[in-house]
Structure 1
Amino acid sequence: MKETIHIYHTNDLHSHFERWPRIRDFLMKRKALHKEQGEACYLFDIGDHIDRSHPYTDATRGKGNVIMLNEIGYDAVTIGNNEGITLSPEELTDLYGEAEFPVVLDNLFMEDGNRPGWMVPDAYLTTRSGIRIGLIAATADFSTSYERMGWKVTGPRSALEAAAPRVSRQSDILVCLSHMGSSEDDRLADHTEGRIDVILGGHTHHLYPDGREVGGTLIAAAGKWGQYIGEVTLTFDHAEGRVVQARAEVHDTETLPKPDDDTGYDRQLREKAADLLSATVFLNPTELKGGWDGPTPLSDLFADALLFHTGADCAMFNSGILLGGLPEGPISGMDLHRLLPHPINPCVITLSGAELEEAYDLSLNPEWPDIRLKGLGFRGEKMGAMIHQGIGRGKDGKLYISGSPADSDRMYMLATLDLFTYGFFFPAFKQARKEYFMPELIRDVLAGYAIRKFGTPSS
């Protein structure tokens, strides 16, 4: 006897809720259809469902996203780096408190080496006919960031390669939820030699419209932002006790029927967020205007906040992170989110005077302000001019840091944004010693400093 099993998967939604009503209705209808046909159906999310750049996710610290997954009836999820390193350990521990599905994850541990209670290293699902489906999962190795927050993360591929033989011995079908990225998925499939039946991928936002086979394993991936829903169809032969056919496809959510709440869903979530974030954070004594062309009173305030928070010698960041200005009067959490929606953390980079001078000169590139910056946590439009605080050239042409001429051999601490540490703009930053400040985002840094400087309604 042969049996058909349907698997639907999403990944890297990043709180793009614009198409969520279509995803919800499509999946719920497919679940009902397969149930009517007597065929097994399972739903999995492969991580980065949350993104604090959306105010509703920020206001609920991701719990609103979990409610959405519960509503559809997901069977299991794993986490991405957005769940893992943009929430504090307490928030991440609390995130799945109301989840009606297991969180499968094999490479994250507490500092004492124990696994947190909100996750399981593997999970098992059983069809009505008795087919046992084993699940393994791992998230990307952002070890420095996780360690900064009090977690330990191990190599994801090595964890999965070790788990695959153990879980497959207890399963008829082995499925991997991988938030490692496309190249690591390929290596995993190649190294496990067909022991894993299906790898559902994410993290690098890759799209495989028809899936791809590596080493006898089907790899499927559904892009990003809810633009596609992935579907894997497995044919299991009971006589042979194995999967005899596996195929993958994707469904373009742009072409799916539009539910009644299609256009208003995201707007309603933003309205809820505005209510949840309506409390006054600090009192602003005067209007602070922003701008992309150079320093402004608002960029000066943020620079002061960055230096105060990090204790660095100087600061450098792009003006494009400030999406507007702040009015005089009470400033709410929603005002701050609109201004700085980015899931970006502050960072201190230790550089020699010579390296810092090179970076400063590079930051004056006249083409940079108009660059349309995408990714790296940036949620604005264009890069904007570079802002410098505590660093600049004097009339004598020399570079000054904190008011004194730079010493080429002395080491200095530069406060900046984590998006600049990947080497795309400043190659020297990639190898330099770095200290990330987590889980606070840059809007938290501004808020903390403004509260100290200006006060709150009750102060």
Structure 2
Amino acid sequence: MLEKIHIFHTNDLHSHFEYWLRMQAFIKEQRQLLAGRGEASFLLDVGDHLDRSNIFTEATLGKGNVEMLNMASYDVVTIGNNEGITLAFDDLSALYEGADFDVVVANLRALTGENPSWLKPYTILTTMHGTTIGVIGATAQYDAFYRTLNWEVTEPRKALILLVQTLRQEVDLIVCLSHLGISEDELLANECPDIDVILGAHTHHTLPEGKVVNGVLLTGGGKFGQYTGHLTISYSHAEKQVMSLEEQLIENGQLATVPGEAEFLFGLSKKGSSLMGDPVIQLPKTYYKEWFHYSPLSDLFAEAVFDYTGADCLMFNAGIFVEDLKKGYVSPYDMHKILPHPINLCLIELTGAELKEMYVQAQNEEWWQLQLKGLGFRGVVLGKLLLYNLKMDRQRQLFLNGEIVVPTQTYTLATLDLFTFGYFFPSFKYAKKYYYLPAFLRDILLSYLQKSRS
């Protein structure tokens, strides 16, 4: 017997719900048609379904996303970094308590205390003809972030390979939910050809028909709900092996519209704003933003960061401020509109020589116009890199609060976590760092305003 098995898969939605209704209507219709033909189908998600830059997700701390996954009848999901490191330990532990689906993450466990009941390394799906599919999953290894949040995240490929060695004799097929990125997927395929399919995510790559590496099919469905993946597996019961794997990406923007899409999106926004709309402070004046200059809002934010971290100096980009902080009553919803980014502060220890190198690099005006996508940034342009407590004279001598910076002395710089991954300042990647989690920039500014005006 040659059995056809279908796997629909999504990834990196990041709480972009513009196509949610139509894509789920399409998947539901397809699954009903397949069931009528006696063909099994499953629905999987490969992480970063939630993103706290979305007001509905923020207001419900991701619980609203889980309700959506339940209503869409997902079978299995894994977590991405947006689930894993943008929620406090207790919030992530409670996130999937009401889930009607399995959550598989092979490389995560609590540092102290018990693991949440939903956390499992794998699950096994079974078709109506008895074919068993081992579904394993892993998430990207942001060790410093997870450890600060009381989680231990281990090397994902090692964890997955050990799982495969255990499962291979127990199941007919192995499907991996990989929130690791395309490079890691290729390495995993080369090291572990016993996996049949790696459903990919994290790097937002697009593989319209998949990519075969060492006999393993790799997939990638872009980001923000652009695509739904449809994998068709032909499995021979007589030969007990996969005969073919066919991957197709469906462009969700081209699917038939569904009545009520605009109302659906408005309803999510309205619910989020309602949950977060109670005013918590009143301001006597407006703090205006500037994307290419210092501004009253950036000066206020700098005050908050100095107060929060006790750093010697600061560096952040002016583009983090999406809106002005307006006079009058201010609610958490207002603050979210100003600073929607799931970004944390980081304290870095740098020598005076490294501090000077950073100062010079920060003058690169080409960065200011950069329309940055990712790294937690949810603004329009990166904007001017603003430096506080640091000045350089015409002789290129650096001063901190009027004192000459000593090249061999150690100083503390408070900055945003997006600058610590090596893309802008390579030396930051290997410097001694402390991440302030789980508070976001908006939390720190709002807390400072409440404290300073109480």
> The TM-score by the shorter chain falls in which range?
over 0.9
C-alpha separation between the residues in 2 aligned to 1:185 and 1:206? 11
CA drift of 1:263 comes to 3.0
8 Å Cα contact 1:306-1:415 kept in structure 2: yes
8 Å Cα contact 1:18-1:265 kept in structure 2: no
Deviation string for 1:271-303 (max 9, x for gaps)? Answer: 111111101232222211111131111111111
2:298 — aligned with what? Answer: 299
Deviation string for 1:365-406 (max 9, x for gaps)? Answer: 233322222222111111222222222236886422134221
Q: Percentage identity across aligned positions?
A: 45
Q: Which segment is superposed worse, 266-275 or 37-46?
A: 266-275
8 Å Cα contact 2:94-2:116 kept in structure 1: no
1:423 — aligned with what? Answer: 422
C-alpha separation between the residues in 1 aligned to 2:232 and 2:292? 53
Map 1:32-431 to 2 at 5 A.
32-112=32-112, 115-193=115-193, 195-393=194-392, 398-431=397-430
8 Å Cα contact 1:285-1:454 kept in structure 2: no
> Alignment partner of 1:169: what SS?
coil
8 Å Cα contact 1:233-1:246 kept in structure 2: yes
> Alignment partner of 1:278: what SS?
coil
> Alignment partner of 1:208: what SS?
strand
1:443 — aligned with what? Answer: 442
Q: 1:141 to 1:423 in 2, by over 3 A?
A: same
Deviation string for 1:157-194 (max 9, x for gaps)? Answer: 1100110021122111111111111111111112122x
> Alignment partner of 1:430: what SS?
helix
C-alpha separation between the residues in 1 aligned to 2:3 and 2:397? 75
RMSD of aligned alpha carbons = 1.5
> What is the TM-score normalised by the length of structure 2?
0.97
Deviation string for 1:324-347 (max 9, x for gaps)? Answer: 211112111111111001111111
C-alpha separation between the residues in 1 aligned to 2:109 and 2:370? 39
> What is the TM-score normalised by the length of structure 1?
0.96
2:19 — aligned with what? Answer: 19
CA drift of 1:442 comes to 0.8
CA drift of 1:197 comes to 1.3
> Alignment partner of 1:380: what SS?
coil
C-alpha separation between the residues in 2 aligned to 1:83 and 1:396? 48
C-alpha separation between the residues in 2 aligned to 1:209 and 1:437? 39
8 Å Cα contact 1:138-1:180 kept in structure 2: yes
Deviation string for 1:234-293 (max 9, x for gaps)? Answer: 111111122211111110011100001223332221111111110123222221111113
C-alpha separation between the residues in 1 aligned to 2:372 and 2:196? 38
Letter aligned with residue 264 of structure 1: E
8 Å Cα contact 2:18-2:261 kept in structure 1: yes
8 Å Cα contact 1:291-1:324 kept in structure 2: no
C-alpha separation between the residues in 2 aligned to 1:446 and 1:268? 28
CA drift of 1:114 comes to 6.0
C-alpha separation between the residues in 2 aligned to 1:87 and 1:229? 26
CA drift of 1:364 comes to 2.0
**Is 1:2 aligned to 2:6, yes or no?**
no
C-alpha separation between the residues in 1 aligned to 2:361 and 2:197? 46
Structure 1: state its 5+ residue gaps.
Answer: none
C-alpha separation between the residues in 2 aligned to 1:395 and 1:196? 60
> Alignment partner of 1:358: what SS?
helix
8 Å Cα contact 2:112-2:150 kept in structure 1: no
C-alpha separation between the residues in 2 aligned to 1:361 and 1:204? 30
Q: Which segment is superposed worse, 276-285 or 84-93?
A: 276-285
> Alignment partner of 2:19: what SS?
helix
C-alpha separation between the residues in 2 aligned to 1:114 and 1:61? 21
CA drift of 1:123 comes to 0.4
